[in-house]
Each structure stands twice: as structure tokens, then as C-alpha cells.
């Protein structure tokens, strides 16, 4: 089981000599003195235990054993060099892929410009985005289908997390509502208001339900899944709603107003989650860096 100890430079020297059949020129190609090159070949030969080249003064030729080796080695050396080169590409962000899951609100507000910047910086690294509800995104993360998940609230104990920021909630109401012109509202202001809720599966609803203060609110019998629907209902005067800041873009148009909720206990934490005990790829680290930078710049 005496395994032979060769180095890549040995194999390159061998390959160079196979191609040139000339020690001096092969040595030049390897950036070595002709003498050092000669020694290298000699060492390689003594390692494998057989003469690989026939040196008849004016002619360098392969022995049968040398030919056999050349057939194998040239291919293998190329493969290995390629594998290592590919790795350098990954490390240098000249290749690779990152997959990210993000809540629709985050995907819509933060990611567009982030994706554009990513494209500009690392055009050869594929960035895949899954805009899914919290539980779907976390499932993707759990299965390793994505490197990172951008999510809000929920049970994240099985993951490693970083708090990106917390965002306040806003009251959304019809444009002519009595609170529409206020600069901010408190719980007390909401007494008697009919609040349209999102479906129980949404992260927003789950957080509101946990809040004792929310009990003072009068819940509307309406429950919707899509924020666009919610906006339409509010605009039609069927009630008001409480939504996190990042979703406000749904409530811009005419006939609607949004007022910040001045209650410190109702904020939504936005997390960057990754798998525990699993290092990020270089590309994923780069994405995270860009994300943190963007978040800190926007606050």
C-alpha cells in the first residue's frame, strides 16, 4: 500500500515533456531551470519505479510505460485542475448560485434593488428568489433548497437567526375616515373600529392574536388572504386594518389613508434565517453582506 507522493508540478512537468519531447523547452514552459526539470523527471521516474522517457541524446521519446501513463495522467490532471479552478471561481464569485426565500412583502420592497445590485456585482452567480409565505420559506430552508430565508416572527428556534430590523404597524383606513388625517394613532383611538383581519395562517395575524391589547378591537367577520383584497375592502369602507410597514405599497392609491401606529409593543421583527451547523457558501455570504448593507442604509 505504498502510495506514491506526487505533486501537481510533477504532473505538469511530465505533461510538458510528453508534448514537447524536449527537456530544455519543457523546462521553459514550466518556468524551471533545465537542470531542476531534469531532476523532477528523474524523481517522478524513481517514484513510479520505471523509466518513462527514453533519452537518446538527440531524441526524447516515451517508453511503453510512459505512454500508458500519459494516456491516463493528462486526462486526470486536467480534470483535477478543472475541479480546483471551478472552486476558485466559486470563491471569486465568478460562478455559483444562491437561493433565497423571502416573504412576499420583503420580496416586493427590498429585493428588487438588491437583485439589481447583485446582477451588477456578480453577474455570473445565479440568484434564485422564492417569494413564499413564512412556513413555505422555512420548509425550503429546512430542506436545504435555499441558503437563506427572510422571514418575520414565527418559531425560528431550529435555525440560526439575525434580526435585520423591526418594523412598525400602520393603520390603514378609507381616505375619508375620522383618523385618516392623524399623524399617529394609539390603541385607544381604535376603540369601536371594525378591523378586517388577514387569514389565521399569516404571520401578521398570528402576531396580532398574541397581543392582549388587540382584544379591545372589534374584529370584522371578514378574513382575507391577499393584501390586495384587504386594500379593496378597506377602500370600500368595510372596515380598517393594521398592517406592517413593508406592506404599505398595497395601500397607496386614492381612497385610502395610512397612519403609523404609535404602540411600541406592536412591531414586526424581520429575520434572516439560515440552517444551524451548516456554513454558508461564499456566494450566500456575499448575498448576506449585501443585504445587511442595504438594511442598515435604509434605516
Partner DNA sequence: CACACTTACGATATTCGTAAGGATT
Partner DNA sequence: AATCCTTACGAATATCGTAAGTGTG
Which residues are near its own copies by CB under 8 A? 3-9, 12, 47-51, 54, 56, 59, 61-65, 68-69, 72-73, 76-77, 79-81, 83-88, 90-92, 277-282, 284
- Over the window 126 to 165, marking each residue x when it contacts DNA by CB under 7 A and - when it does not, the resulting string is ----------------------------------------
Shortest Cβ 121–its own copies spacing (Å): 18
Q: How far is the CB of 16 from DNA (least distance, A)?
A: 12
Our CB check for DNA shows the closer of 6 and 187 to be 6
Q: Are 270 and 164 in contact (CB under 8 A)?
A: yes
Number of shown-chain residues binding DNA (CB under 7 A): 22
- Whole-number minimum distance, CB 68 to its own copies, in Å? 7
* 9 near DNA, judged by CB under 7 A: yes
Residue 213: CB partners within 8 Å, gap ≥ 6? Answer: 187, 263, 265, 266
Helix, strand or coil, per DSSP, at residue 216: helix
User: In the complex, what is the shortest distance from the CB of residue 142 to DNA, in angstroms, rounded to a whole number?
Assistant: 22
Contact 238, 220 (CB under 8 A): yes
Q: Which is nearer to its own copies, 78 or 135 (CB)?
A: 78
CA-to-CA distance for 115 and 100, rounded, in angstroms? 11
Cβ atoms 260, 168 nearer than 8 A: yes
Q: Give whichever of 31 and 183 is closer to DNA, judged by the CB atom.
A: 31
Q: Indicate which of DNA, its own copies, none lies near residue 36 (CB less than 5 to 8 Å, by partner kind).
A: DNA
Q: From the list DNA, its own copies, none, which binds 42 (C-beta under 5 to 8 Å, kind-based)?
A: DNA
E strand spans, 84-225: 97-102, 126-131, 148-152, 159-174, 194-198, 218-224
Exposure string of 250-281, with b = 16+ CB inside 10 Å and e = fewer, is: bbeeeebbbbebbbeebbbbbbbbbbeeeebb
Sequence-distant (6+) residues with CB within 8 A of 150 are: 100, 101, 102, 103, 106, 107, 110, 137, 164, 270, 271, 272, 273, 291
Closest distance between its own copies and the C-beta of residue 18, in Å? Answer: 14
- Whether 220 and 197 have beta carbons less than 8 Å apart is answered as yes
| Phi, psi of 187, rounded to the nearest 5 degrees | -50, -45
Using CB under 7 A as the criterion, what x/- string covers residues 200-229 for binding DNA?
A: ------------------------------
- Only one of the segments 34-42, 195-203, 273-281, 283-291 lies at the binding site for DNA (rule: CB under 7 A); that segment is 34-42
Residues in contact with DNA by CB under 7 A are 7, 9, 22-24, 31-36, 38-43, 55-58, 60
Amino acid at each position: 500500500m505504498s502510495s506514491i507522493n506526487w505533486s501537481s508540478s510533477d504532473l505538469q512537468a511530465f505533461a510538458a515533456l510528453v508534448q514537447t519531447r524536449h527537456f530544455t523547452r519543457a523546462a521553459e514552459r514550466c518556468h524551471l531551470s533545465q537542470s531542476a526539470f531534469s531532476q523532477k523527471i528523474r524523481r517522478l521516474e524513481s517514484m513510479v519505479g520505471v523509466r518513462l522517457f527514453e533519452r537518446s541524446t538527440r531524441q526524447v521519446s516515451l517508453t511503453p510505460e510512459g505512454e500508458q501513463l500519459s494516456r491516463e495522467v493528462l486526462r486526470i490532471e486536467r480534470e483535477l485542475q478543472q475541479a480546483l479552478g471551478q472552486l476558485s471561481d466559486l470563491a471569486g464569485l465568478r460562478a455559483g448560485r444562491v437561493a433565497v426565500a423571502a416573504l412576499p412583502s420583503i420580496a416586493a420592497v427590498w429585493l428588487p434593488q438588491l437583485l439589481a445590485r447583485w446582477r451588477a456585482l456578480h453577474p455570473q452567480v445565479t440568484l434564485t428568489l422564492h417569494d413564499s409565505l413564512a412556513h413555505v420559506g422555512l420548509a425550503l430552508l429546512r430542506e436545504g433548497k435555499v441558503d437563506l430565508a427572510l422571514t418575520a416572527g414565527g418559531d425560528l428556534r431550529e435555525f440560526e437567526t439575525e434580526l435585520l430590523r423591526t418594523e412598525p404597524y400602520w393603520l390603514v383606513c378609507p381616505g375619508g375616515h375620522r383618523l385618516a388625517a392623524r399623524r399617529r394613532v394609539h390603541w385607544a383611538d381604535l376603540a369601536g373600529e371594525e378591523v378586517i383581519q388577514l387569514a389565521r395562517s399569516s404571520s401578521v395575524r398570528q402576531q396580532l392574536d398574541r397581543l392582549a391589547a388587540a382584544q379591545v378591537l372589534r374584529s370584522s367577520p371578514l378574513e382575507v388572504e391577499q393584501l390586495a383584497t384587504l386594500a379593496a375592502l378597506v377602500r370600500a369602507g368595510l372596515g380598517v386594518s393594521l398592517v406592517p410597514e413593508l406592506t404599505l405599497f398595497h395601500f397607496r392609491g386614492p381612497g385610502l389613508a395610512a397612519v403609523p401606529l404609535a404602540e411600541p409593543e406592536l412591531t414586526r421583527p424581520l429575520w434572516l434565517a439560515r440552517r444551524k451547523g451548516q456554513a454558508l457558501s461564499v456566494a450566500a455570504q456575499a448575498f448576506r453582506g449585501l443585504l445587511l448593507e442595504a438594511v442598515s442604509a435604509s434605516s
